Amino acid sequence: MIELQNVTLTFPDGENRVTAVDNVTLRGRNGTVTGITGPSGSGKSSILAVAATLIRPDSGGVLIGNGSDTIDAAQLSKHEATELRRERIGIVFQQSNLLPALTAREQLQVMARLGGGTSRATRARIEARAEDLLDAVGLTQHADKRPHQLSGGQRQRVAIARGLVHDPEVLLVDEPTSALDQERGAEIMHLISRLAHERDTATLLVTHDLVHRETLDDLVTVVDGRVTTALTGRVPTR
C-alpha cells in the first residue's frame, strides 16, 4: 500500500513560492492501479515525485507498506530514501530513460544488480528475474535489441519491466501512453493493469487523458494541486 497523507509541496517562485501540491491525501491499494488525472500543471508529476521520495514534501506523510511494516517515507534521510527506492519502489518516468548502449535484457540486469551481491547464486537469481519480466512484458524475442532498434511501445515495455525488476511493492508511472498511438497506449495500460494485479503491486499512474480509464481500479482527479474527486472501485467508462 502507498498512502499520501495531507501532502503539501511548494517550489520557489521569485520572491514567493508556488504551491504544486496542496494538502493531497490519496491511497494506492495493493494489486490495483490508481489513476491520477487532471489538467497540465495541476501537480500530477509533483505528486509522483513525492511518492517516489525524489522530493521531500513541505509537510505531510508518504506511508509505504502494510501493517506493522509501514514506514513514513517523507521522514527518511536521503540515504535511506535511496535504499527504499532500490528495494520497494519501481519508477517509470515519462521519458523511458533507457541507456542507449544496452540491450533490453541488460537494462534490466543493470538495475537488478544495483545494491545486490555478486555471488553466483545472486547473479543467477537476477538473471532469472530479468528473463521472467521480459517474458511478462512480451519482449523475449527482442531481448538483445538496443533502444534505437525498438519501437516506442517496446521501449515503454522495457521501462516497465525495469521498474519491476526488484519486485517492488509500489510502482509509480508518469504518462506512459503520451508518446504512443491509441492502440499501443491501450496495450501498455492493459499490461500495467495485469502486472499490478498479478504481482500485487500498488500502482499510481498519472495520465492526462482518460481514453483508457477502463484499465484503472481507482481514479483521483487533481486540479490546481488539490484532489477534487476520488473514485474507488472500477471506473465507469462514461
11 binds, among Mg ion, ligand ADP, none (CB under 5 to 8 A by kind): ligand ADP
CB of 65: closest distance to Mg ion in angstroms? 26
**Contact between 178 and Mg ion per CB under 5 A:** no
How many residues in the chain?
238
CB of 12: closest distance to ligand ADP in angstroms? 7
Task: For the beta carbon of residue 9, count every other beta carbon within 10 angstroms.
Answer: 23
Task: For the beta carbon of residue 64, count every other beta carbon within 10 angstroms.
Answer: 25
Q: Burial of 53 by CB count in 10 Å (0-12 exposed, 13-18 middle, 19+ buried)?
A: buried
> What are the contacts of 197-200 at 24+ separation with CB within 8 A?
197/31, 197/32, 198/136, 199/31, 199/164, 199/167, 200/30, 200/31
Residues that bind ligand ADP (CB under 6 A): 11, 18, 20, 38, 40-46
Q: Which is nearer to ligand ADP, 49 or 196 (CB)?
A: 49
117 binds, among Mg ion, ligand ADP, none (CB under 5 to 8 A by kind): none
Handedness of CA 136, 141, 145, 148 (dihedral sign): negative
Q: Which is nearer to ligand ADP, 137 or 227 (CB)?
A: 227
128 binds, among ligand ADP, Mg ion, none (CB under 5 to 8 A by kind): none
Residue 195: helix, strand or coil by DSSP?
helix
CB of 43: closest distance to ligand ADP in angstroms? 4
Query: Which H, E and C letters describe 15-41, residue by residue?
Result: CEEEEEEEEEEEEECCCEEEEEECCCC
**Measured distance CA(109)–CA(197) in Å, rounded:** 24
Q: Which is nearer to ligand ADP, 175 or 218 (CB)?
A: 175
- List the x/- string, 43-62, binding to Mg ion by CB under 5 A: -xx-----------------
CB of 41: closest distance to ligand ADP in angstroms? 4
Q: Which is nearer to Mg ion, 22 or 132 (CB)?
A: 22
CB of 45: closest distance to Mg ion in angstroms? 3
- Contact footprint for Mg ion (CB under 5 A): 44-45
